[in-house]
Chains A and B, each alone.
Chain A
Amino acid sequence: MSENITLALSLLLALTMIVAAVMAVRGKRSLPIAILAAGLVSLLTSVQFLLLAAPDVAMTEAAIGSGLTTFLFFFVLSRVRGGVDD
């Protein structure tokens, strides 16, 4: 029973991650939305790590991959306003 729920959750996560990743790399969206979508992919990856029984990796990904990386992008983005072509 709980096995099935985990499986369904994992599938849902996978679909959301793929949609968010496509949003992040397609050139149509504005750059802040692309950065946030990449952060979302990272955050959902950390939930997937938790389902794969890897709490250490999940914590690292949530704190470093999804938190700090997004802020690094935004720091640089705020410095290059005007050079962004969209």
Chain B
Amino acid sequence: MAQIAMATGFILILIGLYGALTNRNLLRMIIGFTIAHSGVNLVLVAVGYLSGRTAPILDSAVPMAEAAERIIDPLPQALVLTAIVIGVGVTALMLAYAYRIYVTKGTLDIGKCRELKW
């Protein structure tokens, strides 16, 4: 279970990086980055999964006394929650810059942005 999710996450990272590195359209590159971001989150959550246990929320099914034997690791979840929110902020920033490049240059093709090329 955890291994399947982890393998999927790694494959998503590779696909996303491939898309970001080979496409010339800025929006397609950003799409590649968001897919790689989903993959990283999947790997992190899969690390915290313990087989046969349940979510870290106490209720009648998971009483306080036996919580340590019944729940999975809550720490990677808190980490990934932070990462998702930061990720959408970074995506919005990349999209805003892509829009600025389009307004100043009239194109989204990264091959036509040559000012810093050497």
A and B touch in the complex (CB under 8 A): yes
How far apart are the CA atoms of A41 and B95 in the complex, in Å?
19
CB neighbours (8 Å) of A65 from chain B are: 34, 38, 84, 87-88
Chain A 50-72 near chain B by CB (<8 Å), digits 1 or 0: 01111111001100110011001
CB neighbours (8 Å) of B109 from chain A are: 85
Give the size of the chain A interface in residues (CB under 8 angstroms).
47
Q: How large is the interface on B (under 10, 10 to 19, 20 to 34, 35 or more residues)?
A: 35 or more
* B99 and A80 contact, CB distance less than 8 A: yes
Q: Does B2 interact with chain A (Cβ within 8 Å)?
A: yes
Most buried by A among B18, B48, B55, B91: B55
Chain A 30-50 near chain B by CB (<8 Å), digits 1 or 0: 010011001001100100110
The 5 closest A-B pairs by CB, nearest first: A25-B19, A14-B8, A21-B15, A53-B55, A76-B95
The chain B residues found within 8 Å of chain A, CB to CB, are: 1-2, 4-5, 7-8, 11-12, 15-16, 18-19, 22-23, 25, 27-28, 30-32, 34-35, 38, 41-42, 45-46, 48-49, 53-55, 57, 72, 77, 80-81, 84-85, 87-88, 91-92, 95, 98-99, 102, 106-109
